[in-house]
Chains A and B, each alone.
Chain A
Amino acid sequence: MNRNIGARALSVLLVTAFMGMACMAPVSAGTGDDSDAIFPEFGVEYKQNYNTGNNLPNSPAIAEGFYEVFDNAGWGCNFYIGDWDRDIQRWDWDSDAAHVDSVDLVFWAGHGDDSCILLDGLPLVLAWVYFHDCNWGDQDLEWILLHSCHTAQVPGEFKAWPHWALNGAHLVCGFDTVGYDYAEDGAAVANKLFNNYKVRHAWYHALDETHQSNVWIGIIGENAACGDDRIWGEGSVITDPPVDSEIYRWLFQCN
């Protein structure tokens, strides 16, 4: 038995290295779920009370407002996670297929930055989800809505070493600048998604209802054609786009 230990360890190393190289240069999106139009699914996660004290009192209302609209519309909810739980594995490249990448649309309300979202304040390695540690869309995910400051500020972060967060996902909607913790935003976005708006337009118009001209909204797409997507059941959705080295971004200033 012992004679196999070295060989096994070497195999693990080689397989791991191979997977890493494969993830660095993805060429096509995954199609892990082909029943999207019949049974679309969504997930919601939020964070209100941070262990570093920088709390977001309206995060639960934002998340709840979003959840209720989608739940009432008949979408399946795969997860609804709040303060009581925190697990970056739900978002990371190696285990998201059972969580974030198991649904068509994800909504997150909490703190963020230009390279990550914060499931909690500390510790970093257990609470901060870096985009370069994610790999969204190779299983199912089409759209991810990040109600977090600065998350759409540097599109290059979504295709950075060692993993590309944009790996089949169509759109990442976020803020270019700071964003405000308005309780109304979640329901407003969700209502517009079911009211004839493209995903891109719904995100901007909902946030424009509460935010002022010091705020810029950012939306990041695998390509420009993703900007025409509506959610499942509400209009056309493009075929999962081929993943290449380019990223498209729309920037909108609020009024």
Chain B
Amino acid sequence: MALKMVGALVCLALAVAVGCMWVFGPGQVPVTPLPAVAGAGEGTYSLAAEFPEVQGSYTLYRVVPVTVTEDRVREIAERFGLSGEPKAVSEVTGEFFLVDVSKEPEEHMSVYAHSGGVAYHILDREFPTEVTEQPDLPSDADAEKIALAFLEKTGMQSPDARVVKTEVNQKQEVWEAGATEPKVSYDITKAVRFGRSLDGLPVYGDEFAAILGDGGEVVGLVKTWREVAPDGNVSLRSPEEAYEDLRAAWTVRPHTGQEYDRITIEHVAIGYWMEPRGFVQDLVRPVYAFSGTALRDGVEEPYVEYVFADEGKR
């Protein structure tokens, strides 16, 4: 009997051991990907940059209102050679949506009443389901020329827009189970991105990119480019005060500092902030841009976050 009891206990111990391996994995010690402190404040951020010199006052800008109607959507669509009936699909973002089903493959256009933003896509070419060989993407220099010609053809160019970056913006990969790297990776599309400055300061948040696919074809375009007019002057809070706001999670966008173990701010700049295309925006306010390197689980990532800079406001 005693032997049977011992046998049962041994089996029970083995079962517990197997259960523990299931829970934790082989030789795995639980790690902490998130810092345990709210706002990621005191211990997370470190400053390795000088604060910018702040002038006495800065221009405040007001967005020139746009009116987006179904006729306006049709007019923009025609410039891209699209026809179809626009319909309002979202009160939240003010999106009008048009599909030209006569095209093969069909082409889509969204125009956002809240911003005047336009998004054009040949979905099956911009976002192919599967590729089995590397698409033929143009060089960066050729991509810029193609993009500029497309903007001219569709009347989507802006005189104050300049190319700020050309980069691969989409990939497809094949992975093996348990792998930490893909075994196959293809670059699918390239984005030619445009930006602008106001009063000599960079504008953050503008969305203006032409997307090029296989053979250098323009397969997508996103342009949220609110026209603005000066609307008085404003003085800025000190960068030191803004940095404290960053540490306290008072950021323009929802805060992400808590995702990182450590954030090193390596550059601080002053610029202007544009909201995403689904948002209503009246004023274009100055911001401090804090950029640098974030560390998560021992891996470095680029980091950038914004804090409103106009005095007395967050």
Contacts and interface: CB of A to CB of B under 8 A. Distances in A.
B110 to A, nearest CB: 8
B157 interface: no
Contact of A246 (B21, B123, B174, B193): B174
Interface residues of A, number: 81
| Chain A interface, >50% SS class | mixed
A122 B31 CA distance: 12
A161 B178 contact: yes
A56 B177 CA distance: 32
Contact of B205 (A9, A111, A181, A212): A212
B254 A182 contact: yes
Contacts of A149: 256, 259
Nearest to B97: A195
Given A6-B4, A154-B180, A195-B97, A209 B34 contact: no
B36 A12 contact: no
Contacts of B259: 111, 149-150, 178
A91 to B, nearest CB: 13
A205 B89 CA distance: 14
A245 B172 contact: no
Contacts of A102: none
A73 interface: no
Contacts of B296: 150
A182 B256 CA distance: 11
Contacts of A179: 256
A188 interface: yes
A113 interface: yes
Contact of B11 (A9, A52, A178, A247): A9
A162 B11 CA distance: 21
Contacts of B258: 54
Contacts of B141: none
B5 A248 contact: no
A17 interface: yes
A250 B255 CA distance: 26
Given A125-B30, A227-B129, A255-B207, 10 more contacts: A20-B18, A121-B36, A162-B22, A181-B255, A187-B92, A188-B90, A209-B276, A224-B129, A247-B176, A255-B193
Complex A-B, nearest 5 residue pairs according to Cβ-Cβ distance, in ascending order: A53-B38, A159-B177, A224-B130, A9-B11, A54-B258
Interface of A: 2-3, 5-6, 9-10, 12-13, 16-17, 20, 52-58, 65, 111, 113-114, 116, 118, 121-122, 124-125, 128, 130, 132-133, 149-150, 154-156, 159-164, 177-182, 184, 187-188, 191, 195-196, 198, 200-201, 204-205, 208-214, 224-225, 227-228, 245-253, 255
9 contacts: A54-B36, A54-B258, A113-B297, A114-B297, A122-B36, A188-B93, A212-B207, A224-B129, A247-B174
